[in-house]
Structure 1
């Protein structure tokens, strides 16, 4: 009986420590995400354009474009509207700058795509709401 209680107590403390560590990691990631997004948008406001290191890698660039188009379509644009909007130079510069700042903040390529897609979804929703 004592062994069972000891296992339960140790398990509870292990759970509490693990839960705290995971919450801390999530908060740190959220802070890095918000910082990367804010600093990229500030750079764009200053007229700066930055590119991620993989900009010349055809595979990653094609994957980036595919996923950002999907994000715009999920937000309600047609595929044609999404491709047209995302091919505009200002939007392309915005997406690349966001990806570059996410890269500078230590995010992986897939996380860089997520950051750019989050922005695209908000921009697409705003575009749709302005056209109503």
Structure 2
């Protein structure tokens, strides 16, 4: 069975590197990235990267770049769950075709919830 893949995308390098370190300690995920939110070829690279979950972190949830990227990912890749994190609002939202919590208090727990949902819907076991 394949391991769920989490892609980190952020405009904030420190956040990306911190989340990468935390997620790499998790045994049940494979970390992709981090990628820069400003990169123009993100959508094209997604097909090759094949993430299960994409975490997009930006200054706030009103970021046009993050909002547009979320919209495009959901339209083109409906199997991918997208988590948007607002770094200055301590808030995040989950965008997915699956039934998941819309808000939460802990980003790592939300990522785990997305992974569990993917595993349950696809039959993937934890490694």
Structure (1 or 2) with the greater helix fraction: 1
Structure (1 or 2) with the greater strand fraction: 2
Q: Which has the larger radius of gyration?
A: 1
Common fold, TM-score beyond 0.5? no
Q: Normalised by the size of structure 2, how large is the TM-score?
A: 0.34
For CA contacts below 8 A with separation 6 or more, give which structure has more relative contact order.
Answer: 1
